[in-house]
């Protein structure tokens, strides 16, 4: 594809690059000829990704540490000279019913999903404004548009990220830096695999319906290349959010119906 060549030579920073969506995204950008900076906490996993990613810079970083994030971007600029694209993907998920939600778990999710994303945006966009070009793609969630159980705490953090992103877009209006939202549904990643043993989660969403990370990667590519504002994955999935805004009672009923259908499907799979 001709537009795919646009990424050749671009400097791309991917957070949460050690596994899941981040890993798939980093490898896809590397395949497109981009120079990729791999950001996550786990050095060994990042090294394994780097071994497949060509000209890649490994930058072990805890995104919840503001000073560490600043050092991370300093290293990227020192190595590559600039930052063209940032995929703000790092995230954690701890499922629980809202009435059972441990405040410490919610705080841990907020630190990564919201504060970490904020620190990355602030460091990246400051440099992009100075070079008068750049794109940030925030990986949120369909759960950031409509809360669902048993991941209410996670949804709350993604709601916050969506609001932060929308406000930031207003601040950047007329400036040469673009911020996009990609909002996937449930993706087959290690993060999701770690929680799909939770019975409440399985009642809500059988693993057979999980999407591959490649679906999200293509949305990230499109958002970065064409400076799109918002993409839901799969396409059109955000329609339910619009229904929820217009008729919340109806959307609640649909969620309950979907859960019942999913639970029936899971029991049928278990018997087969």
Q: Six-digit token pair at 78? A: 């020192």
Q: Six-digit token pair at 162? A: 């969506």
What distance in Å separates the CA atoms of residue 172 and residue 41, rounded to the nearest whole number? 30
Of the residues 80, 154, 201, 205, only one is catalytic, namely: 154
Measured in whole angstroms, how far is the alpha carbon of residue 1 from the centre of its chain? 25
- Cα 117 to Cα 105, 112, 131, 161: the distances in Å are 17, 7, 21, 8
What distance in Å separates the CA atoms of residue 256 and residue 244, rounded to the nearest whole number? 13
N- to C-terminal Cα distance for the chain?
42
Residue whose entry in the numeric block shows the structure tokens 């939770």: 198
Pairing outcome for strands 56-60 and 11-15:
unpaired
Q: Six-digit token pair at 197? A: 């043993």
What distance in Å separates the CA atoms of residue 75 and residue 271, rounded to the nearest whole number? 53
Is 154 a known active-site residue?
Answer: yes
- Cα 131 to Cα 39, 46, 127, 170, 193: the distances in Å are 22, 28, 6, 20, 40
What distance in Å separates the CA atoms of residue 195 and residue 20, rounded to the nearest whole number? 14
Torsions phi, psi for 63 (to 5 deg): -70, -15
Active-site amino acid positions:
154
């Amino acid at each position: 594809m001709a537009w795919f060549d646009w990424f050749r030579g671009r400097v791309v920073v991917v957070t949460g690059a050690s596994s899941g969506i981040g890993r798939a995204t980093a490898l896809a950008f590397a395949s497109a000829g981009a120079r990729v900076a791999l950001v996550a906490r786990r050095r060994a996993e990042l090294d394994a990704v780097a071994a497949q990613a060509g000209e890649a810079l490994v930058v072990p970083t805890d995104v919840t540490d503001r000073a560490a994030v600043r050092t991370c971007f300093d290293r990227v600029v020192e190595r590559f000279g600039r930052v063209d694209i940032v995929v703000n993907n790092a995230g954690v998920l701890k499922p629980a019913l809202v009435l059972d939600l441990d405040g410490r778990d919610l705080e841990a999710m907020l630190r990564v999903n919201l504060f970490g994303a904020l620190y990355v945006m602030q460091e990246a966009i400051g440099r992009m404004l100075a070079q008068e070009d750049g794109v940030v793609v925030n990986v949120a969630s369909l759960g950031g548009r409509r809360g669902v159980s048993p991941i209410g705490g996670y949804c709350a953090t993604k709601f916050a990220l969506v609001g932060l992103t929308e406000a930031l877009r207003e601040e950047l209006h007329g400036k040469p830096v673009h911020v996009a939202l990609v909002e996937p549904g449930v993706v087959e990643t290690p993060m999701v695999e770690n929680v799909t043993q939770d019975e409440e989660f399985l009642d809500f969403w059988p693993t057979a319906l999980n999407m591959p990370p490649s679906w999200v990667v293509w949305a990230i590519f499109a958002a970065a290349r064409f400076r799109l504002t918002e993409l839901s994955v799969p396409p059109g999935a955000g329609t339910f959010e619009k229904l929820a805004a217009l008729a919340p009672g109806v959307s609640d009923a649909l969620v309950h119906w979907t859960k019942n259908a999913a639970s029936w499907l899971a029991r049928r799979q278990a018997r087969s």
